Structure 1
Amino acid sequence: MSQGALDLSQLKIKLMESLENISADINIGIKTLNNDSYCVLGELKDLKDKFEQVETMAASFYLNNYLSPYTDKYLEISTCIQHLSHQRHGALIVIERKDSIESLIRAGTIIGARLTNSLLESIFYPGNPLHDGAVLIKGDKIYSAANVLPLSNVVSGGKKLGTRHRAALGLSEKSDALVLIVSEESGIISFAIDGSLFPISVTSSFI
């Protein structure tokens, strides 16, 4: 069994255990409702936090399933985006899947190089002339950099999203591409697919 498959299996087990723990907590909460003198609001807040943690863990798990059929380099991609997250270097990475996206983007600079985490990370280093656009990955190669993506008009909580997130959503609304985003403000990693945006757990690798 490969290291990636092993890690994915471990993440699945952890996800199942977390859901089982939440289920047990819910059952306890239901029983305590019979006690009129006990307030369950604190437990509900705790459950909300646990659900958010499970959501990011589940996103990490399913992201691997989306990536693995289209690139063997998800280990390198994982290493890169986690380094970028820790350093607060913003990034926008497009993984082309079945749909060709070249007609949907404004093409940047052709790279045509074998994908490595160090090369991918260096592109998004602040000051690099290519860092301010999207990298396009096709299979196991970095196809191009500094690409411009179509922007979505989606709002979140009554506020417009940042440019990188709007670009990721915009492309995912028009194609089956998977788009990874690293926020330079918070270091939070997210991915967009099918017009939806999901956070990724940094503490448990998605590979």
Structure 2
Amino acid sequence: MENMECDFTTMTQTLKKDIHKVISELQGNLEVIDDESNCLLCNFEKIKETFLDIEIKAATFYLNCYLAPFTDKYPELSISLQEMSRMKHGALIVIEREDSLETLIRPGIPLGAELTHSLLESIFYPGNPLHDGAVLVRLNQIVSAANVLPLSEIYTGDKKLGTRHRAALGLSERSDALILVVSEETGRVSFAKGGNMYPITTHGGM
């Protein structure tokens, strides 16, 4: 608990510093906005990138906080996500929390195996019969693989959002589960919670 409090203090200090930087940059733009010779588009782009960096830092930290009470396997999850991101192997991992998911998920293949990064990576290796669908994690076990999740209806018309992301959002809209997603197109990692998707970083651990 002391380590968590220490990490939380460090993170909030980092976020405050980054937010103050953005405020300063916005104030600078406000001061020169009336100058016709200044084009602010590049400045806005830099500010947008800073905002995204702040969001990724915060989401990566809070993901660990959200998972800690429900599984001890965060290091294993972190290693597997880093590797699958690097290889651009698409993945969909459901972490069950307090809500039962039995009525929300179409069950796949039972496994009942201890969660390890090597097992997760092998499940989502392209060509593996289990790589389509979602892995269900309960506590420290992989309960099943190739599960089918409900798709989000909100994003049905959005062609840019892949099936994995729509499935992650769909389940997060109906339960308190955390759903981790690795994009096979970009290798980017994100998680869904409460009907929202948050990007996280895999560089240098999570």
Judge same fold: TM > 0.5, yes or no: yes
Alignment of 1:180-191 (within 5 A): 180-191=180-191
Alignment of 1:4-23 (within 5 A): 11-23=11-23
Partner Cα distance (1:113, 1:19) in 2: 43
Alignment of 1:67-82 (within 5 A): 67-82=67-82
Change (3 A) 1:156 1:205: farther
Partner Cα distance (1:202, 1:2) in 2: 25
Partner Cα distance (2:200, 2:91) in 1: 14
**2:181 aligns to what SS in structure 1?**
strand
Range with bigger deviation, 15-24 or 32-41: 32-41
CA contact (8 A) 2:78 2:202 kept: no
Partner Cα distance (1:133, 1:44) in 2: 39
Offset of residue 31 of structure 1:
2.9
Q: 1:111 is aligned with what amino acid?
A: L
Offset of residue 70 of structure 1:
0.9
Alignment-derived partner of residue 94 in structure 1: 94
Partner Cα distance (1:49, 1:42) in 2: 11
Partner Cα distance (2:156, 2:113) in 1: 36
**1:120 aligns to what SS in structure 2?**
helix
Per-residue CA distance 1:161-199 (angstroms, 9 max, x = gap): 211111111111111111001011111111111111111
CA contact (8 A) 2:90 2:184 kept: yes
Partner Cα distance (1:44, 1:30) in 2: 11
Partner Cα distance (1:47, 1:197) in 2: 21
Partner Cα distance (1:151, 1:158) in 2: 12
Range with bigger deviation, 62-71 or 96-105: 62-71
Identity rate, percent: 52
- Long gaps (5+) in structure 1: none
Partner Cα distance (1:174, 1:151) in 2: 10
Q: 2:28 is aligned with what amino acid?
A: I
Alignment-derived partner of residue 65 in structure 1: 65
CA contact (8 A) 1:11 1:204 kept: no
Partner Cα distance (1:130, 1:66) in 2: 27
CA contact (8 A) 1:4 1:75 kept: no
Offset of residue 113 of structure 1:
1.5
Alignment-derived partner of residue 84 in structure 2: 84
**1:155 aligns to what SS in structure 2?**
coil
**1:142 aligns to what SS in structure 2?**
strand
Change (3 A) 1:160 1:31: closer
Offset of residue 6 of structure 1:
7.0
CA contact (8 A) 1:124 1:132 kept: yes
Partner Cα distance (2:130, 2:3) in 1: 32
Q: 2:116 is aligned with what amino acid?
A: T
Q: 1:155 is aligned with what amino acid?
A: Y
Alignment-derived partner of residue 30 in structure 1: 30
CA contact (8 A) 2:82 2:203 kept: no
TM-score, normalised on structure 2?
0.88
Give the paired residue count.
Answer: 206
Q: Does 1:128 align with 2:145?
A: no
CA contact (8 A) 1:60 1:205 kept: no
